[in-house]
């Protein structure tokens, strides 16, 4: 059964928490899809210190904190909806720390996230406060992990963008146009996960037949 994981990068219960859950509800309208939700709120997430132990030992990050539960959820998911409040025209430091700490996935589980599907939501207190630059940071995470990026259906282009006027969930809900982009993104992810999950098993078989490895030609030479 395909799973879509929603992640909120906000340290509080507010607009992002609300918008990610609305997008998940929209995605869950597709038959057989289940959703999970994880927030950085109240979580212990250390910064990556570039100790390179993950590279030397080919392991996930040795630091034992709340990133471990996120690791598991990410590896089990077929699709992602990641939302962040805009902080200084970017994503939050907490979400950036999560992305940094998940980096060893490409080493330890090569190909595991390839052709999964991801969408992004950014919520700013200002109408044009850097939502698109924040979206790009989330999209870059998907690109790094070979996840297919979905912008949304019906004029969302690069994802959900909301003007909250710093009004937490109610502020987001009052931005009708913004919430339409969030729902459009949820629909796009639901649809894309449903379609791609049909082909995944077939591809696993075909891959063996074709002798296509998981690491890929560039990765083989990268490290």
Tell me how far, at minimum, the Cβ of 27 lies from ligand FMN, in Å.
19
**Cα torsion at 24, 37, 145, 131 (round to 10°)?**
60
Cβ proximity to ligand FMN, 87 vs 194, nearer residue: 87
Q: What are phi and psi of 63, to 5 degrees?
A: -70, 125
Cβ proximity to ligand FMN, 5 vs 15, nearer residue: 15
Cβ proximity to ligand FMN, 77 vs 162, nearer residue: 162
Query: In angstroms, what CA-CA distances link 89 with 85, 128, 191, 199?
Result: 9, 9, 30, 37
Tell me how far, at minimum, the Cβ of 95 lies from ligand FMN, in Å.
11
Q: Which residue is nearest to ligand FMN (CB)?
A: 129
Please give the Cα distance from 84 to 80 (Å, whole number): 13
Cβ proximity to ligand FMN, 106 vs 163, nearer residue: 163
Beta bridge partners of 5: 36, 80
| Residues in contact with ligand FMN by the rule CB under 6 A | 10, 12, 14-16, 85-89, 123-126, 129-130, 164, 166, 168
Task: Judge whether 8 and 17 are in contact, CB under 8 Å.
Answer: yes
Tell me how far, at minimum, the Cβ of 61 lies from ligand FMN, in Å.
26
Tell me how far, at minimum, the Cβ of 29 lies from ligand FMN, in Å.
24
């Amino acid at each position: 059964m395909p799973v879509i994981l929603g992640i909120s990068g906000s340290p509080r219960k507010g607009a992002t928490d609300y918008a990610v859950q609305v997008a998940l509800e929209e995605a869950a309208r597709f038959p057989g899809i289940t959703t999970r939700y994880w927030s950085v709120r109240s979580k212990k997430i250390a910064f990556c210190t570039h100790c390179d132990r993950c590279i030397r030992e080919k392991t996930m990050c040795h630091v034992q904190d709340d990133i471990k539960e996120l690791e598991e959820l990410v590896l089990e998911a077929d699709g992602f909806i990641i939302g962040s409040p805009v902080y200084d025209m970017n994503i939050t430091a907490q979400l950036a720390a999560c992305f940094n700490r998940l980096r060893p996935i490409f080493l330890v589980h090569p190909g595991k996230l390839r052709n999964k599907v991801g969408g992004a939501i950014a919520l700013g207190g200002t109408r044009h406060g850097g939502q698109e630059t924040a979206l790009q940071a989330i999209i870059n995470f998907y690109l790094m992990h070979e996840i297919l990026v979905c912008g949304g259906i019906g004029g969302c282009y690069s994802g959900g963008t909301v003007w909250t006027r710093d009004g937490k969930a109610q502020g987001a809900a009052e931005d009708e146009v913004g919430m339409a982009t969030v729902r459009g993104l949820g629909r796009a992810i639901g649809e894309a996960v449903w379609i791609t999950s049909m082909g995944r098993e077939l591809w696993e078989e075909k891959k063996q037949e074709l002798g296509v490895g998981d690491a890929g030609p560039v990765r083989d030479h990268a490290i």
